Amino acid sequence: MNEPKVAVITGASSGIGAAVARSLAAEGFRLILGARRMDKLRAVGEPIDADCRFLDVTSDASVVEFCKSIGTAHVLVNNAGGALGLDSIEDAQEVDWQRMYDTNVMGLMRVTKALLPALETANPGHVVNIGSIAGREPYPGGAGYNAAKFAVKAITQVMRMEWLGRPIRVTEIAPGLVETEFSLVRFKGDSERADRVYSGLEPLTADDVAEAVCWAVTRPSHVNIDEIVLKPLAQASATMVSRKQV
Ligand code: NAP
């Protein structure tokens, strides 16, 4: 019997990362999962027999420790990230912008760099970056997050160019509104404000996004899915949504 393929997922303690973990486990992958909240991470990982490891993608030392002893990685899902605040540039909170950049951009670079030899050994390896429609379309109040996710899009495209000829596939998955802890984190625990983001419409679920990731990584090895943009039917752009009165 063939050894199972290995998938590494950052930010797997909730939302999209957790859903991708379950979905890849169902495809027969062996999972290595990382996040900071170990209790939540274990709750995701234990039922699917995953290797759950503490990971703070903003820390070099944590990334080095996390990646230790990963000799082969067929798939890396750079999912850890999110938004903080919805302030105008005039009112920008530097600490929020810094954290968004550190997590969504620097974290992605750090983990990818550390796992590149393991991905190449997999022959082919596959890097899946979780971007966003916020990385394609700016919106008022979004500048800090927009800048971070535009960076994810740019980095994904450069990966594709720099690794051309090497056995590493590269995909960006760019969702619109997905109901997860995303808005609760963005609005710093204000659950009423977070709930309003999804009220009166049917958002994507984390499972919807996980299906897209799963599809991209299970294509034949000569096929590279460059990007997938998916939005709820009720969302035409970052700022245009159709809400029913509730
Ligand atoms: P979520 O439920 O808040 O999940 C975010 C995950 O990232 C959590 O598992 C969190 O785990 C992890 N994380 C945050 N900071 C981290 C750090 N420093 N080190 C390691 N892990 C960290 O939100 P989500 O919607 O699933 O977000 C996943 C990704 O999708 C993000 O990149 C987000 O930008 C992107 N996205 C979301 C939406 C949406 O509408 N929800 C749309 C487009 C793109 P810990 O807190 O336990 O560390």
The model carries a pTM of 0.98
| Ligand 1 pocket, mutate which of 178, 204, 228 (most atoms under 8 A from CB) | 178
Ligand 1 in reach of 178 Cβ (< 6 A): yes
Burial class (CB in 10 A: 0-12, 13-18, 19+), 189: exposed
Q: Which of 65, 103, 182, 239 to mutate to test the pocket of ligand 1 (most atoms within 8 A of CB)?
A: 182
Torsion of CA 237, 180, 119, 74, to 10 degrees: -110
CA of 15 to the centre of ligand 1 (A): 7
Q: Is 17 in the pocket of ligand 1 (CB under 6 A)?
A: yes
* Structural tokens at position 168: 């590493």
Q: Given this model, what pLDDT does residue 245 score?
A: 80
Give Rg (Cα) of the chain.
17
CB atoms within 10 A of CB 217: 22
User: How far apart, in whole angstroms, are the C-alpha atoms of residue 232 and residue 179?
Assistant: 11
Q: How far is the CA of 104 from the centre of ligand 1 (A)?
A: 9
For ligand 1, is residue 142 a contact (CB within 6 Å)? no
Q: Which stretches of the chain score pLDDT less than 50?
A: none
The pLDDT assigned to 2 comes to: 81
What is the pLDDT at residue 149? Answer: 98
Between CA 49 and CA 117 the distance in angstroms is 25
CATH architecture of 6-177+204-230: 3-Layer(aba) Sandwich (3.40)
The pLDDT value recorded for residue 1 is 66
* Cβ–ligand 1 contact at 11 (below 6 Å): yes
Contacts of 224 (CB under 8 A, 6+ apart): 160, 169, 170, 171
Q: For residues 143 and 87, give the distance between their C-alpha atoms in angstroms, rounded to a whole number.
A: 8
Q: Is 145 a catalytic residue?
A: yes
- Residue 35 Cβ contacting ligand 1 at under 6 Å: yes
